[in-house]
Amino acid sequence: MSNESKPNLQPGNEHENAPEQKAFSSPLAIIGMIVVVLATAALAISGRLNRSHADTVLAERTTDLAAPTVIVAPPKQGAPLSNFVLPGNVAAWTDSPIYARTSGYLTRWYFDIGARVKKGALLAEIATPELDQQLLQAEAELATAQATAGNAHTQAERYQGLVSTDAVSRQDTDTFVNQAAATSAAVRSAQANVQRLRELQSFEKIYAPFDGVITARTVDTGQLIDTGSAKELFHLQAIQTLRVYANLPQFYSQTVKRGSKIDLTFAEHPGKTYEGTLTRTSDAIDPVSRTLLVEIDVNNRAGELMPGALAQVHFKTPPAGPTLVVPAAALVFRREGLRVGTVVNGNVAHMIPVVIGEDDGANVQIVSGLGANDQVIQDPPDSLIEGEKVFVGNASGQANAGGK
């Protein structure tokens, strides 16, 4: 075999093609690495987006579950407010406690509770021995003062007659004249003291100050009586005419007139109506209750009515137009005032300030603030606030799909 056919087995010949192989394999490795990095980043971003979406869905779901479910209905149309009934308090025309004006012991009383007395009737007598003795002493002092004054006047007149003849001095005459004037003043003082004690003595007898009925007697024979208002002896009320007081809501304050006739009914007289006359008002709105105090006088000559009773006052006013009626449970009491909860935009709570009219306990008339098409929340939760999201449910309390 010739040398030409032998392969070249010189050292180093087998590595002559290595650079060409590295040149072809390096870009493929880089591309693979890039693909792997991009795939990893895509997976990470996808996982983060999925978690963010899940958090958002969870938050929305939590908010939806926290929203209260409410039932709404439009307000009902009420009748024109021409007639309404208010409670009234019945009071006596004159109501007076009777006290003692002098101290002593009650010796006798003449009328008990329920007795009808005339003005000037003797109600009771009080024994005042100390006062009687003081009066006797004062009368004796008056007699002494009068005697002294008479002597002084006599001396003064005598000296005035002698001074013209110079039988007495002018100085002595003036002294006796001044003494006569002083004793006259002492007499008047003693007379005033006697008159004071006589008037106190007259209070030993207690008289009725007006026609009326005795509604209370708090003393008995032999009881010690003190002067002043510490102890009431009798209570006297004039009931021939009674006063009925009612608190008229501010909304109606301009609809009632003095002199108008008002019907009154009483639970103890079913089926019977008494006619009263609106005689006066307070002409001022109470800032606490926002009402006007009115007085209706009713004739009670027959004695059928009693002070202290509760009356139903039937007011008749010009029609104020149609009103809206909502359940009393729909009212929400806030520090800012009375509110009614409504739903707007399908699922948002809106609190409306309102002014109410007649309230019968179950339903309340709304005279201003509410619209006929408003969706009123029938029984709002106490925590309901303006702008809160709510679910609108049906009568069974289940949420409607349209409420979301």
Is residue 52, in this structure, part of any structural domain at all?
no
CA distances from 366 to 251, 292, 297, 374 (A): 11, 19, 31, 12
Tokens of 50: 């999925």
310 with 331, same domain: the answer is no
SS3 category, 253: coil
Q: How many domains does the structure of the chain reveal?
A: 3
Residue 357 in contact with residue 323, Cβ under 8 Å?
Answer: yes
Please choose, from the candidates 320, 315, 319, the residue with its C-alpha nearest in 3D space to the C-alpha of residue 260.
315
Is residue 159, in this structure, part of any structural domain at all?
yes
Q: What is the pLDDT of residue 401?
A: 42
CA distances from 123 to 102, 136, 394 (A): 15, 26, 72
Is residue 172, in this structure, part of any structural domain at all?
yes
CA distances from 212 to 94, 120, 192, 235 (A): 8, 11, 35, 10
The C-alpha atoms of residue 394 and residue 69 are separated, in whole angstroms, by 9
Residue 296 in contact with residue 276, Cβ under 8 Å?
Answer: yes
278 with 336, same domain: the answer is no
312 with 264, same domain: the answer is yes
311 with 340, same domain: the answer is no
Tokens of 65: 């579950």
The H-or-E segment that residue 186 falls in is helix 170-202
- 10 Å Cβ neighbour count for 41? 10
Please choose, from the candidates 286, 206, 292, the residue with its C-alpha nearest in 3D space to the C-alpha of residue 245.
292
Q: What is the pLDDT of residue 207?
A: 94
Q: What is the pLDDT of residue 282?
A: 93
The C-alpha atoms of residue 378 and residue 23 are separated, in whole angstroms, by 82
Q: What is the pLDDT of residue 55?
A: 60
Q: What is the pLDDT of residue 63?
A: 56
Q: Which residues contact 133 (CB under 8 A, 6 or more apart)?
A: none
Q: Domain of 306?
A: 85-90+238-316
176 with 274, same domain: the answer is no
107 with 201, same domain: the answer is yes
Which of 207, 230, 259 is a domain's end point?
A: 207
Q: What is the pLDDT of residue 159?
A: 72
Residue 227 in contact with residue 100, Cβ under 8 Å?
Answer: yes
Tally the C-alpha atoms within 13 A of residue 256's C-alpha that lie toward its C-beta.
31
Q: What is the pTM of this model?
A: 0.57
Q: Which residues contact 170 (CB under 8 A, 6 or more apart)?
A: 163
Is residue 297, in this structure, part of any structural domain at all?
yes
Q: What is the DSSP letter of 228?
A: B
Q: What is the pLDDT of residue 173?
A: 74
Q: Kindly give the pairing relationship between strand 69-73 and strand 391-393.
A: parallel
Q: What is the pLDDT of residue 233?
A: 94
Residues of the chain with pLDDT under 50: 1-24, 396-397, 399, 401-404
Q: What is the pLDDT of residue 359?
A: 77
